Amino acid sequence: MTTVLLLSDIHGNLHALETVLNDAFERAEIASVWVMGDSVGYGAQPNEVIKRLRTLPDLAMVKGNHEAAAIGEISIANFNPSAAASAAWTTEALIPEVRDFLTALPLVTMRSSITLCHGTPRNPIWEYMLTSQTAELNLNRLDTAGCVHGHTHIPSVFGRELSTNWHVIQARDTDVFQLDYERWFVNPGSVGQPRDGDPRASYALLQLTDNEAPRIQFHRVEYDVAKAQDLILDAHLPSTLAYRLSVGR
Ligand code: ZN
């Protein structure tokens, strides 16, 4: 069995990331780490987050809308005001080495016959996987049975059975699912800015075996929210970005 740590939407929150890494590496022998985008943006430590991620074993990463905005690949005209302000701040803050690393990231990649992307396979930058219709419409753009993604900041499983029926599950702390579906999409939730009303950092462990369907375990961990908030305020990022971390919205 191989255990893969799934992380997404870290959003420059190093305090949340370190707490998740401690928790995850205590729980399991982790062979690989997959990061589904938006590692930067909103939070005050984008360079530190990327440097830390690059120390992790067998790392696979994709680009999200916040990386694309920070390196100038997409316009921030469609961002809400606080997201636009944080994208502009992040663009200024990125050191060249980190900027080059983010620029080289793919939008979609594949590991162990599973697709990794930020939003959805057909629109990795912008589309939110929120309904079974969206899942269905993405199937012909998915070359694998399974896909891990992020973007919604909500831990979830979309699993298709009997060619028509989708199971849509919002995952909670300690939930475990066997992904024995024909096709499936999994989101580990957001490390650095959860939006399901639970402010604890979210992540998942994916267990891969040769003979069985993959198994996913969801976890939530409390981290030092106040420290992450202080850094956001000290950086003169919008105060709403600090406040929302307390409420998980
Ligand atoms: Zn995000």
pLDDT in tens, 84-127: 999 999 999 999 999 999 999 999 999 999 999 999 999 999 99
C-beta of residue 61 within 8 angstroms of C-beta of residue 31: no
Alpha helix segments (H runs only) across 113-169:
132-138
Predicted confidence (pLDDT) at residue 164 exceeds the cutoff of 90: no
Q: How many angstroms is it from 136 CA to the middle of ligand 1?
A: 22
| Amino acid (one-letter) located at 161 | E
Q: How many angstroms is it from 175 CA to the middle of ligand 1?
A: 22
CA atoms within 13 A on the CB side of 19: 20
Give the pLDDT confidence of 181-209 residue by residue, as tens digits: 999 999 999 999 999 999 999 999 999 99
Query: 3-state SS of the chain: helix, strand, coil percent to 5?
Result: 30, 25, 45
Question: What does the pLDDT read at residue 163?
Answer: 77
Q: How many angstroms is it from 159 CA to the middle of ligand 1?
A: 22
Residue closest to 43 by CA, chosen among 247, 229, 246: 229
Q: How many angstroms is it from 161 CA to the middle of ligand 1?
A: 29
Q: Which residues contact 234 (CB under 8 A, 6 or more apart)?
A: 44
pTM of the complete model beyond 0.95: yes
Q: How many angstroms is it from 105 CA to the middle of ligand 1?
A: 16
Residue 73: φ, ψ to 5° = -85, -25
Q: Which residues surround ligand 1, an ion (CB under 5 A)?
A: 9, 38
Q: How many angstroms is it from 210 CA to the middle of ligand 1?
A: 32
Q: How many angstroms is it from 178 CA to the middle of ligand 1?
A: 26
Give the pLDDT confidence of 216-240 residue by residue, as tens digits: 999 999 999 999 999 999 999 999 9
